[in-house]
Amino acid sequence: MAVLVATAGGALGAPAAADGETPPGRVEFPTRCLPAAEGPTAARIEVDDPAPGVGDTVTVTYRLDRTPAVPPPRAGAPAPTGRILLGGAQTGEVTLASPDPDPDPDPDPAPDGGPGPVTPAAGAAGVVMRGSFVVGEAGEITLTPGGYSVGGVACAVAGPSAPVASRITAAPLPVMNLRGLALGTSYGEPGARVRITGAGFPPGAAVTVAGRAGAAGTADRAAATADRSGAFAAELVVADRGTTGVVAYEGAAWSAERGTRPEPYTVVEPAPAVGSLTMTQAGAAITLGAVGYGGGGAADGRIGTVTVVDTRGPGTGRWTLRGRLTGFTGADGAPVPGAVLAWAPSCAGGGCTAGGPGVVGPEGAVLASGAGGTSTIDATVTLRLPAYTPPGAYRAALTLTLS
């Protein structure tokens, strides 16, 4: 197969660009060919994708526009081959071969009866070779012409190397962002403290936790450091009423590559106060009488009067006043097994209803309930001690809770 176009000077010719300028990617370099011939080679290197990604296949076209004077190729000669040298971010070489079939399988005979040379009419404007390579590294990769063989004649670059004829810039593979965070709660009043946990960060990374309002940041900020597993925990005070989400990120500002996606958060304005529910007591201590030693018995007393004021207005529900008693203990902390305290509640005003009489223990009992207005609550109490309780002073705590 012969694809070399022979000129009168034995060089391979190519048409100039329409405006007379050098075609893009064309370079010239000295070459030395065997059998003995040397001179400049003009070549072009073209790629089908100047901006591939790592892992992509790039097809390279090597065009010879001019070569030194070499013997004309004969029919049946080997197909043109060549190579391209890779440099920069990726090194190596690309092997190329002519993709064109023999354009003249039955050439005119030479004067001596053998196969004749390929003429410009029977050939092409230049030798074209193609090959491909897989991009293995990100960054700029240079493509430089190397040696070639046309019609069985091998030509090598005479000198250190040919000029770079083409450059491509390979993009790195996309990196999956595994960063994520979780909020202890998704809403709260202004100034609420929110626990933030995150994972997927580089170990030891400085992490900023920040409030977001759409695509913009807010004044809410907290700092954390990822542990050796890439996790972190922080507390964020959400005081900015414009905060609608929370993110975590590395570096000076949030980015999709080094930050988490926003987690929604709602700032809830506190409800306006509508009245109140309060409780006061006229003296908190209850003093009980003495019980004779040996036979056991009861000691009586009464709680200090409790006043409940409810100004919350209609529709706010009833209030409940409950009491809970701890066990009785002596001065040395020893308990009094079998000690029982019972009460008999009473109340007046404000729609108040007294709780039923009965024992008050650690499980608690209702003292009274009501709704609206002012109520006063009292209760008599009786302590019963078992026989042969050791002499001494004993104490217990009675806790009243209004809800």
Domain boundaries, the chain: 26-170, 180-267, 277-402
26-170 and 180-267: same fold?
Answer: yes
**Greater confidence, 150 or 75?**
150
Tokens of 165: 């004829």
What pLDDT was estimated at residue 137?
92
Question: What CATH code is assigned to 277-402?
Answer: 2.60.120
Quote the pTM value.
0.43
Average pLDDT, the chain: 83
Could you read off the pLDDT of 277-300 as tens digits, one per residue?
899 988 777 878 777 776 677 888
Reference 194, options 228, 229, 245; nearest CA is 245
List C-alpha distances in Å: 44 to 88, 90, 103, 183, 317.
19, 20, 22, 59, 90
CATH 2.60.40 fits 26-170, yes or no: yes
CATH 3.30.70.2860 fits 180-267, yes or no: no
Q: Decide: residue 134, CB within 10 A, 0-12 exposed, 13-18 middle, 19+ buried.
A: exposed
What pLDDT was estimated at residue 295?
66
Could you read off the pLDDT of 229-284 as tens digits, one per residue?
999 999 999 999 999 999 999 999 999 889 999 999 999 988 776 788 899 988 77
**Strand boundaries in 289-396, DSSP class E:** 297-302, 306-310, 319-325, 340-348, 353-354, 358-359, 365-370, 373-385
Could you read off the pLDDT of 181-229 as tens digits, one per residue?
999 999 999 999 999 999 999 999 999 999 999 889 999 999 999 999 9
Mean pLDDT of 52-65: 93
